[in-house]
Amino acid sequence: MFAKTETIQNKSKNCVFAFFCPRLSLTFYNLCCTLTKQIIQAFFVLYSVCTNFAIVIIIDTKIINFTDMNNFQDLVVNRRSIRKYTDQELNGDNVKKILESALISPSSKSKMPWEFVVVEDKNVLIQLKECKQFGTKPLESCPLAVVICADPTVSDVWIEDASVAAFMIQLQAADFGLGSCWVQVRDRFMENGDPSEEYVRNILNIPDHIRVLCIVTLGYKDEDRKPYDLSKNKWEKIHIGQW
């Protein structure tokens, strides 16, 4: 499959493998991290012109390093809660992958006590918005929401397990460039004092013994949020060795 191997001039040892496979070229393009995109783009365009649909994968290099977590930190720094979404429907494949990621979240004793209700019906989303008085704005415009539930008879630490799964959904969504927001349901109340959980359970026909933790809204972003500034991290919260 390797059509050509080259070494590019760089202080680190870079191996450049060229494949003649047009379908992979988009994947490669997407892999380029922000900082290095221009360098790679320029190289890629030039190289593609020369080799007609060639793609180049650079392995073990400071340009694109598949083994370090720099790209993951970029994702974490840029992930912000998004409460306003465009009308655009979500790509079914992305939704499937988001749910796949949720279903393989780590859980205590691998009990996987969670259950997910995927809601796309606009009328139902608007009904869900009424589950509490404040903090439900994301449900107003999102095209899809995942209601994060869990069975407490399966795991005593269902809250932790379901929380991890909920955030896994948020991270996977961020990886697809989608916005998301956690809308708390457990221990929240409606304007009339009724528990938000009961309201959500009734709307979605969720069995009585199943708890509702939160609703994660998903959609294409219709607002800009600033990335986190790592220099503002509260390092005083880190206690080394002992408090």
Q: Which residues bind ligand FMN (CB under 6 A)?
A: 80-81, 83, 135, 138, 181-184
Residue 32 or residue 213: which is nearer to ligand FMN going by CB? 213
Residue 58 or residue 141: which is nearer to ligand FMN going by CB? 141
- Residue showing the smallest CB distance to ligand FMN in the complex: 135
Compute how many other C-beta atoms are within 10 angstroms of the C-beta atom of residue 192. Answer: 7
* Residue 84: CB minimum distance to ligand FMN, A: 11
Residue 56 or residue 162: which is nearer to ligand FMN going by CB? 162
* Residue 29: CB minimum distance to ligand FMN, A: 28
What tokens appear for 176 in the block?
């697809």
Residues 6+ apart with CB under 8 A from 176: 91, 94, 97, 98
* Residue 127: CB minimum distance to ligand FMN, A: 16
Contact criterion met (CB below 8 Å) for 176 and 144: no
Residue 135 or residue 152: which is nearer to ligand FMN going by CB? 135
* Residue 213: CB minimum distance to ligand FMN, A: 9
